Every structure is written in structure tokens, then in C-alpha cells.
Amino acid sequence: DAGVIQSPRHEVTEMGQEVTLRCKPISGHDYLFWYRQTMMRGLELLIYFNNNVPIDDSGMPEDRFSAKMPNASFSTLKIQPSEPRDSAVYFCASSLAGAYGYTFGSGTRLTVV
Amino acid sequence: GESVGLHLPTLSVQEGDNSIINCAYSNSASDYFIWYKQESGKGPQFIIDIRSNMDKRQGQRVTVLLNKTVKHLSLQIAATQPGDSAVYFCAENMPRGDQGGKLIFGQGTELSVKP
């Protein structure tokens, strides 16, 4: 089992550019979560999906952020336009049956300059 | 300018000693709790979990204690090793009816093991 796979591992972009983060969950998992980690705010849940349907997006900071899950094996988190305050590590996690057996990916470190 | 980040609580222990990491959770309706370990440059890794109908659960070298009265969770690591050095997070599951739950993470504690 390859685990949760995120790409890219590192992303450096200029303010105003569009950024797309990608996630492949563990095969068979029906929940997918996007988290953001910063020193100031710790680990924040942005959005989660169940069976490819967004369930709770209350953590998405603003309209510049959007997430999609077109199928059970792929999800994207898009920031457009990006701002320096979006710099953080973004984690994707997947699970079977909600909070049980959460597995995190290695994260994408985003730097917006 | 850049904001100053929060300093994580730090626990420093000698190799071979036992470690106790504490966590206060926020929601009395939370029904499931997990401890995660995060090493530098990696994602959080599951260590041990406990359901709200239990007070104690043991794993290999780790024990989790749950006190629902005061909404307190602790992680005990026996015979702490240098490889245990990491940031440890507790997480509580806030139930959402038939929509599963979402994990809310605590601030984290940095464990430093001195050889």
C-alpha cells in the first residue's frame, strides 16, 4: 500500500498565481480530508469529502480556495489567486468510516512570495 | 512583516525515562480520540486511539488515559527513545450524525529526548 500520495512536495509561486495541490487517497477509503498546518494556527481542517461529495467546507478560508474530488482516487485543492499568507504545509488525509484510521500524506509545502 | 509563530509546549526527557504528554480537549460530546506523532518534514502518524467509553488503552510502549470529567487526555511513553523525538498531537472526533466526524487537532507538544 503506497499510502496517501500528495504532489508536489514543495511549491514556490509568486503572489497572484494559481496553485493546484493534488492528492491520491488510499484505495478503498471513502473519506478524504484537506488540512493546512502553520505555526500560528496549527492543523486546521479545510474541507472533507465522503464518497467524493463535499460534506463540510466551513474551514475553507475564503473564496480563493476551492477543492474538488472528481473520482474516488483523486482530489485537488486550488488557490487562485495565491497570497503570501497562504504559505503553509497542506496535508491530505484519507480514511474508511470517518475519523477512524485516518492516514495522512507527506504534505505539500507551499511558499508564496 | 512575518508574524511570530506560537511556541509549542516542550517536554525534554532523558533516554530511558517515561514521558507523559497531556492534552485538554474542548467538546464534551467528542466520542473518539487519537494521538498522532509528527516528525520533521512528515505528515502526522497514528499512534494510538481510544473511544469515549474507555478510560485507558495500552499499545506497545504507549498508553492513553482519558478523563472525561475534566476533558483531559494523556499519552504515556515508556522507556523513551531518541526516535520518539517529535511533535505529538491529540485529536478529538466531533460527531456529526450520519456524516461521520471530523478530527479537531490540539496545539501539539514537542518531545525532545536527550541521549
pLDDT at B104: 86
Interface test with B, best of A102, A112, A113 (most B CBs within 10 A): A102
Per CB-CB distance under 8 Å, the chain B contacts of A4 are 43
Cross-chain CB nearest to B102 (options A40, A45, A103) = A45
The lowest-confidence range among A9-13, A98-102, B56-60, B109-113 is: A98-102
Is B34 in contact with A99 (Cβ distance < 8 A)? yes
| CA-closest candidate to residue A70, choices A91, A49, A90, A55 | A49
B84 three-state secondary structure:
helix
Strand pairing report for B62-67 and B56-58:
antiparallel
CB B21 within 8 A of CB B74: yes
Cross-chain CB nearest to A99 (options B44, B100, B106) = B100
pLDDT digit string (tens) for B33-84? Answer: 999 999 998 999 999 999 999 999 999 999 999 999 999 999 999 999 999 9
pLDDT at B103: 83
pLDDT at A24: 98
* Degrees, nearest 5: CA angle A83-A84-A88: 105
CB A68 within 8 A of CB A21: no
What chain A residue is nearest to B43 in terms of C-alpha separation? A106
- CA end-to-end distance (rounded Å), chain A: 36
* pLDDT tops 60 at residue B98: no
